[in-house]
Amino acid sequence: MQVSGLSVVSTGADEGYRRLVLHYALLAQAASGVDGFIIGSELRGLTQLRDRAGAFPFVEQLIGLAVDVRAITGAGTKLTYAADWSEYFGYHPADGSGEVHYNLDPLWASAAIDAVGIDNYMPLSDWRDGDLSKGNPDGFRLADDADAMGVMIASGEGYDWYYASEVARRDRIRTPITDGLAAKPWVYRYKDIASWWGQTHRNRIGGVRAGGADGLGCRRQARMVYRAGMPGDRQRGEPAECFYRSEIVGDGGSVFFKRCALRCHAAAVSGGAAPILARAGCARMP
pLDDT of the residue at 110 = 92
CB distance 181 to 98 below 8 Å: yes
Q: Give me the residues paired with residue 40 across strands.
A: none
What is the pLDDT, as a whole number, of residue 222?
Answer: 52
pLDDT of residue 161: 97
Q: Are 115 and 78 in contact (CB under 8 A)?
A: yes
Distance CA 274, CA 245 (A): 36
Would you call 135 helix, strand, or coil by DSSP?
Answer: coil
Q: Are 262 and 122 in contact (CB under 8 A)?
A: yes
Taking the whole predicted model, whether its pTM rises above 0.75 is answered as yes
Yes or no: say if 124 and 237 are a contact pair by the CB < 8 Å rule: yes
Q: Tell me which amino acid residue 170 is.
A: R
Q: What is the mean pLDDT of each run of 10 residues along the chain (286 residues)?
A: 70 81 89 90 94 94 96 92 92 88 93 90 87 94 90 93 93 94 92 90 85 52 58 46 38 43 33 31 27
Residue 130: burial class (beta carbons within 10 Å; 0-12, 13-18, 19+): middle
Contacts of 82 (CB under 8 A, 6+ apart): 38, 40, 41, 42, 117, 118, 119, 227
Axis-axis angle for helices 17-30, 57-73 (nearest 10): 20
Q: What does DSSP say about strands 2-4 and 7-9: parallel, antiparallel, or unpaired?
A: antiparallel
Q: Where does 57-212 show beta strands of DSSP type E?
A: 78-84, 116-120, 127-128, 161-162, 175-176, 204-205, 208-209
Q: Measured between alpha carbons, how far is 28 from 39 in angstroms, rounded to an integer? A: 12
Nearest to 78 by CA among 128, 129, 113: 113
Distance from C-alpha of 221 to C-alpha of 215, rounded to nearest angstrom = 11
